[in-house]
Amino acid sequence: MHVTGIIVEYNPMHNGHCYHIRKARETTGADAIVAVMSGYFLQRGEPAVLNKWARTQMALQNGVDLVLELPVVYSTQSARFFALGSVATLDALGVVDSLCFGSEAGNLHTLQKASALISEQPFLLQTLQKEELSRGTSYPRAMADALRRYVAMKEDLDAAVFDQPNNMLGIEYLHALITLNSKIKPFTIRRIAAPYHEETFNHTAIASATAIRKSIMEDRISAAFSFMPENNAAILAKEINEGRAPVSWESFARPIVSLLVRAHVKELTRYLHIDEGLAERLRFAAARNTEMHALIRDVKTKRYTWTRIQRALTALLLGLTKEQAENLELTKGPSYIRVLGFNERGRELLKSANVRSRVPIFTKIKREIPRMMEWDLTASRLYMLAYKSLHQEYFRRELQHPVMDVQGDS
C-alpha cells in the first residue's frame, strides 16, 4: 500500500482542498491519504473558524483516510517549525511513503534548489538578510527580500518563487525532510484559481479559504456554501446552528484585553514571540481598544506583522512562555501522535502504524499524557469558551472522543 501524507488546516475545507486530495492520489499513486491537521489554533496565529472535530469529519468525507493532529506548539509557529512538526509527525508514523503539497510554482526541482539555498545559508545571503533586518523589516520579509537579491546575483532561479506563501511553506517542508533524514519522497502540485489571501469570490468553483471565512463571519453563509462540497456545507451549517461556530479572534477579546492591561511590559516579554517593543505596543493598544481587529491593526508595523502579532497573542492566551517552549525541545519533533479520525482504510493503516511508529499513538486522552499534549488540552478549553452555549460535555468529548469513522463502525 502506497501512503501519501498531506499537511492541512481546512479552515474550512473547500473545493480547492478536494482538488488537492484528488491530485495527490493521482500524482503519487496513493492507496491511502494521511493528513496532519492543525487543531484549534492555526499557523497564522488565529483560532480556527470551526473546531477540529468538525474539520476532521469534513476531511474523512472527502478523501482523507486518517487524520492526525499537529500539536498546538507547532501549529502556531513560524513556517519552519510548522513544517518541522508536520513532517516529523508523518515521518514518525512509520508508514508514509510520500508527501504531496500544493505550491504556486508547481515545480519540485525549483523548490528543492530554493530549499538547498536556505539550508546552506551562504555568507552573502546572511549579510543581505542582516541588511534587510536593519531596515526594520519583519524576519520573514527580510529573508524573502534577501533571497531575492541573492538569487538575482548568484543563482539561476526565479526570485519570484520566494514571494508566494505556499512556495515558502513547500521549501520548509523540503528542508524538514532533509533535516530529519527522512525517506519520504516529496511531490508538489500547482495550486489553482484563488490566491491564498484573496478576500472576494470570483466565478470559478474554487475560492480562497480567506474569502470563505469572510463570508461566514459576515453571515453570508450561502455564499460560502457555493465553494464547498455539499456534505461539508451541511457540517458547517450544523456547527453554526448549534452555537459552536464561527469562532474568531473577537471571541477572545475580553480575556486578551484583560491579560494585556494587567501585565507589565517585563512580564509580557516572558511569552513566546513577544519582545519589549511588541509588549509596549500591545499594552498601549489594549488601553484604547476592546475589539481584536482594531487592537491588532493599531499594533501592526513593518517589523510586527499581523501574523507575528496573532502568534504572540495566542502564546499569551495559552500562557506559553519562551522558557516553556525551549523546554519542549521543538527541534526534535512531536513526542506523540494524536489521532483525530479515520475510515476503514485508515483503521488498517493504524494497525501497521502501531507497530512501526517511533512515538506513542493516542486515539483518546489517557491519565498520563506527554507534557507537549497538555498544551493541546489548554487550547481546547480556551477555544470552547467561544461557544455560544458552553457545556462540560464538550470538554469531556475532547478527552474521550471516539475517533470518527465515516463507515459508521468506530
Alpha-carbon distance of 157 to 405, in angstroms, equals 45
Q: Are 86 and 153 in contact (CB under 8 A)?
A: no
17 assigned ligand-binding residue: yes
Nearest to 394 by CA among 72, 40, 47: 40
15 assigned ligand-binding residue: yes
334 assigned ligand-binding residue: no
292 assigned ligand-binding residue: no
Distances (CA, A) of 355 to 6, 85, 262: 22, 21, 49
Q: What are the grid coordinates assigned to 175, written together?
A: 528542508
Q: Are 218 and 224 in contact (CB under 8 A)?
A: no
166 assigned ligand-binding residue: yes
8 assigned ligand-binding residue: yes
Q: What are the grid coordinates assigned to 106, written together?
A: 508547481
58 assigned ligand-binding residue: no
Answer left, alpha or beta for residue 36, where phi above 0 means left and psi between -120 and 50 means alpha.
beta
192 assigned ligand-binding residue: yes
Q: Residues 224, 229, 230, CA angle at the centre, nearest 5°?
A: 90
Alpha-carbon distance of 303 to 311, in angstroms, equals 14
Q: Are 67 and 37 in contact (CB under 8 A)?
A: yes
Q: Which residues are annotated as a binding site for ATP?
A: 7-20, 102, 166, 191-192
Q: Which residues are annotated as a binding site?
A: 7-20, 102, 166, 191-192
